[in-house]
């Protein structure tokens, strides 16, 4: 049996303030729970529907319907300054997310970073919490393999430039991403769903990129979804 206190605590993890205060988040589904168990994350407790029953699982699930398995996982400590410095000095490209607030987009971007071997993602402090249940589900397990660091983006981008690393960003007035040489390191800034890259963050971008429509100059959609644009951009860098 699960106590009323446990049920209340697990249900409270749907809210960021309780995730922050308790240092815990919820993972649901057999695949995601197995990913958590195989990762370096500390899994505090696992509940399986075969052990506690569907009725009890329905009382603790944060989804619309109960899953076969649910785990309570401890949120890892964010890397300190030495860890961030190591990421900047690493000869690999990183991502920076400027006010990405949609849980589905955030989760998909983490999954994209996992696919393209991008180790670190810097997110502005007003971006959606990666331990939001909808984000966790959308990552399909990638959340356990990627570093996502909430920070002041301007400070991070300034550090990249001071280290001699390029700071890329996607803009309508940028250069065709398919026609220029891209480096294997630095950082790529992706903007919010509604406003793109903010003016204060754009000041730190050293190389502006543009994803062209096909055929060039055609009358097409106004913009791309940020997760789709991130996938196209990451593919261009890896190519």
| Average pLDDT score over the chain | 94
Q: Which residues contact 105 (CB under 8 A, 6 or more apart)?
A: 193, 225, 226, 227
User: How does pLDDT run across 153-202, given as a tens digit for each residue?
Assistant: 999 999 999 999 999 999 988 899 999 999 889 999 999 878 899 999 99
Question: What pLDDT, on the 0 to 100 scale, is given for residue 79?
Answer: 87
Question: What pLDDT, on the 0 to 100 scale, is given for residue 68?
Answer: 95
Residue 77 has pLDDT above 80, yes or no: yes
Residue 128 has pLDDT above 80, yes or no: yes
User: How does pLDDT run across 131-146, given as a tens digit for each residue?
Assistant: 999 999 999 999 999 9
Sheet holding 120-124, edge to edge: 147-151, 120-124, 93-97, 186-190, 167-176, 207-210
Question: What pLDDT, on the 0 to 100 scale, is given for residue 90?
Answer: 87
Question: What pLDDT, on the 0 to 100 scale, is given for residue 193?
Answer: 78
Question: What pLDDT, on the 0 to 100 scale, is given for residue 175?
Answer: 94
User: How does pLDDT run across 194-239, given as a tens digit for each residue?
Assistant: 889 999 999 999 999 999 888 777 777 777 899 999 999 999 999 8
Confidence of residue 92 (pLDDT cuts 50, 70, 90): very high
For the chain, list the domains and their CATH numbers.
4-74 (3.30.1330.30), 81-238 (3.40.1280.10)
Alpha helices in the chain, H assignment, sequence order = 4-12, 16-22, 30-38, 49-52, 54-60, 81-89, 103-115, 133-139, 153-162, 199-202, 226-238
Task: Tell me the mean pLDDT in the region 63-85.
Answer: 93
Question: What pLDDT, on the 0 to 100 scale, is given for residue 76?
Answer: 95
Closest to 191 in 3D by CA, of 209, 168, 220, 169? 169
Question: What pLDDT, on the 0 to 100 scale, is given for residue 216?
Answer: 74
Question: What pLDDT, on the 0 to 100 scale, is given for residue 167?
Answer: 97
Q: Is 6 exposed, middle or buried (0-12, 13-18, 19+ CB in 10 A)?
A: middle
Task: Tell me the mean pLDDT in the region 56-72.
Answer: 94
User: How does pLDDT run across 35-58, given as a tens digit for each residue?
Assistant: 999 999 999 999 999 999 999 999
User: How does pLDDT run across 2-35, given as a tens digit for each residue?
Assistant: 899 999 999 999 999 999 999 999 999 999 999 9
Q: Give the 3-state secondary structure of residue 28.
A: strand
């Amino acid at each position: 049996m699960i106590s009323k206190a446990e049920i209340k605590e697990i249900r409270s993890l749907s809210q960021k303030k309780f995730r922050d205060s308790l240092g815990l988040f919820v993972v649901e589904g057999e695949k995601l729970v197995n990913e958590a168990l195989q990762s370096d994350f500390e899994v505090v407790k696992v509940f399986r529907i075969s052990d506690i029953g569907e009725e009890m699982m329905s009382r603790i699930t944060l989804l619309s319907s109960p899953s076969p398995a649910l785990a309570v996982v401890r949120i890892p400590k964010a890397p300190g300054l030495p860890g961030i410095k190591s990421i900047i000095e690493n000869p690999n490209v990183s991502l920076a997310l400027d006010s990405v607030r949609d849980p589905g987009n955030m989760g998909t971007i983490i999954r994209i970073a996992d696919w393209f071997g991008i180790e670190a993602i810097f997110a502005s402090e007003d971006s959606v919490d990666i331990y939001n249940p909808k984000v966790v589900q959308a990552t399909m397990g990638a959340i356990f393999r990627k570093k996502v660091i909430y920070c002041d983006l301007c400070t991070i981008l300034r550090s990249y430039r001071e280290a001699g690393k390029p700071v890329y960003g996607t803009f309508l007035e940028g250069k065709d991403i398919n026609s220029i040489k891209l480096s294997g390191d630095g950082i790529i800034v992706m903007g919010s769903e509604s406003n793109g890259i903010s003016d204060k963050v754009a000041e730190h971008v050293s190389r502006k990129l543009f994803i062209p429509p096909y055929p060039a100059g055609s009358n097409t959609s106004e913009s791309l979804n940020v997760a789709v644009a991130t996938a196209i951009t990451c593919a261009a860098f890896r190519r």
